[in-house]
Amino acid sequence: MGWTHTKQSLLLADIKRRCKNSGEPFDLDISDIVVPEFCPAIGLRLDWNAGLRADNLPSMDKVVPALGYIKGNVRMISFRANRLKNNASLVELQGIISYIKTHQPYQ
């Protein structure tokens, strides 16, 4: 078992424990942790060795948060992207983008 597989197993065990404690749905296994080379949301190169809470650490994202950690509802993105979208709605994120576009001193 390689280092990456070990990190994936630890991530999966942590999520399973949290779901058991919270009652959130969970039915994942190790094959559900597919880590792309780059974050599909913001383009950072993902790195399991980046360090705890590093921006480019792989992080499991629930596509539809209310469904929980179930097959077909999770993707691996960067820790930074997951923090940014944490509990924001699409409308809120679009509002932030609009605000940034209209309030940048140099465009």
**d(Cα 107, Cα 59) in Å, to the nearest integer?**
32
Kindly report whether the global pTM for this prediction surpasses the value 0.95: no
**d(Cα 69, Cα 50) in Å, to the nearest integer?**
24
Please state the separation of Cα 86 from the chain's center in Å.
Answer: 9
**d(Cα 65, Cα 85) in Å, to the nearest integer?**
11
pLDDT in tens, 42-100: 999 999 999 888 999 999 999 988 999 999 999 999 999 999 988 788 899 899 889 88
- Determine the pLDDT at residue 87: 79
pLDDT in tens, 4-41: 678 899 999 999 999 999 999 999 999 999 999 999 99
